[in-house]
Amino acid sequence: MPMVQITMLEGRSTEQKRKVAQRITDAIVEEAGARREAVVVAFHEVSKESYASGGVLMVDKVK
Amino acid sequence: MPMVQITMLEGRSTEQKRKVAQRITDAIVEEAGARREAVVVAFHEVSKESYASGGVLMVDKVK
Amino acid sequence: MPMVQITMLEGRSTEQKRKVAQRITDAIVEEAGARREAVVVAFHEVSKESYASGGVLMVDKVK
Amino acid sequence: MPMVQITMLEGRSTEQKRKVAQRITDAIVEEAGARREAVVVAFHEVSKESYASGGVLMVDKVK
Amino acid sequence: MPMVQITMLEGRSTEQKRKVAQRITDAIVEEAGARREAVVVAFHEVSKESYASGGVLMVDKVK
Amino acid sequence: MPMVQITMLEGRSTEQKRKVAQRITDAIVEEAGARREAVVVAFHEVSKESYASGGVLMVDKVK
């Protein structure tokens, strides 16, 4: 029963999450031999104030 | 210091979480020999748009 | 489909993990209304060199 | 920088993990608009003694 | 690419998270030899109703 | 009781983890006002076959 936990910035649409969950599940079923019903995917969405790379919060990044 | 992280659909009441946290802590203390004060339980609650099983978001499931 | 992830020191027996998994699942089913088959529990066991509380690795603690 | 954490039973080959990581990254890049270099995937592999569904350890399941 | 996931009570300011992310990244870069750009830090903030220690929800603790 | 979970490549020494755990704990205590005894840090170390960035396993990267 593979558990997939995705941490990412908030702001993705339901349609985007729908497709990501579907394709991740397909990948695990087809490549790793898991039963489809046993694959669980959860999205943990965090704000730009709660996510940093390189030591800098996303909210502080100049694009 | 066992850390317990629970990912589940949002919608449970405080009373439900109170009892779950209590019983999980009891189980780890009584069965695994941990000190009670050292057991931490966190609930990560996700929406139906952020949770999928079998590649299908909970919001898309027909019950 | 609640996912339960437990991080704890290595060294517990299979029998201890069996009972903990069973009781945690019982708690979530009975208190939070989850379907039993949908509850997944995983134990992530770490060594005393990979676990710290209060800023001190377990391997460095004087009991 | 999406972080993907996969908890699954040990025993998959490097080739299986290679393909799963590739396809999950493709899905997140193509469907959710993440930069490819920013997607990180980690596999946390647990033994049959450390994984339970429905309250029963995998090692105790009769197939 | 070290991934750091912090679960804590909600209520910290952006400035507090900014400094924590910065210092954690510094520590991993300077002590563990990671590339700065590769360190990701995410804060998962939970409410007092979703966090327990010693089997007691934070909301139930008498200070 | 902040819980810090670090996923990184295996191979760091105990001394490196000792210092990282200490400095992370200092940062959370000093910047976010947590009690020192309540901060827990766990290192989840994965192999180069179990870690990918940009869709490529670490074992496949040419440095």
- Domain segments of chain D as ranges: 3-60
The residues of F that are catalytic are 2
Residue B42 sits at φ, ψ, to 5 deg, of -125, 135
- List, for residues A2-60, the tens digit of each pLDDT value: 999 999 999 999 999 999 999 999 999 999 999 999 999 999 999 999 999 999 999 99
Give every residue of chain C whose pLDDT is below 50, as ranges: none
Residues 6+ apart with CB under 8 A from E45: A50, E8, E9, E10, E11, E12
Residue range E6-11: mean pLDDT, rounded: 97
- List, for residues F30-54, the tens digit of each pLDDT value: 999 999 999 999 999 999 999 999 9
Tell how far CA C54 is from the center of its chain.
20
Q: No. of H helices and E strands in chain E?
A: 1, 4
Predicted TM-score of the model (pTM): 0.96
Q: Distance between CA A8 and CA A11 in Å, rounded?
A: 9
Taking 3-state DSSP, the helix, strand and coil percentages for chain C, each rounded to the nearest 5, stand at 40, 30, 30
pLDDT in tens, chain D (63 residues): 799 999 999 999 999 999 999 999 999 999 999 999 999 999 999 999 999 999 999 999 976
Q: How confident is the model at residue F62 (pLDDT cuts 50, 70, 90)?
A: confident
ipTM score of complex: 0.96
B53/C24 touch (CB, cutoff 8 Å), yes or no: no
- List, for residues B13-61, the tens digit of each pLDDT value: 999 999 999 999 999 999 999 999 999 999 999 999 999 999 999 999 9
E2 is catalytic: yes
Give the chain B residue whose CA is nearest to the CA of F5: B3
Give the chain D residue whose CA is nearest to the CA of C18: D57
Q: Do residues D39 and D25 lie in contact, with contact meaning Cβ atoms separated by under 8 Å?
A: yes
Residues on A contacting B at a C-beta cutoff of 8 Å: 5, 14, 17-18, 21-22, 24-26, 29, 36-45
Asked whether residue F23 carries a pLDDT value surpassing 90, the answer given is: yes
Domain F3-60: assigned CATH number: 3.30.429.10
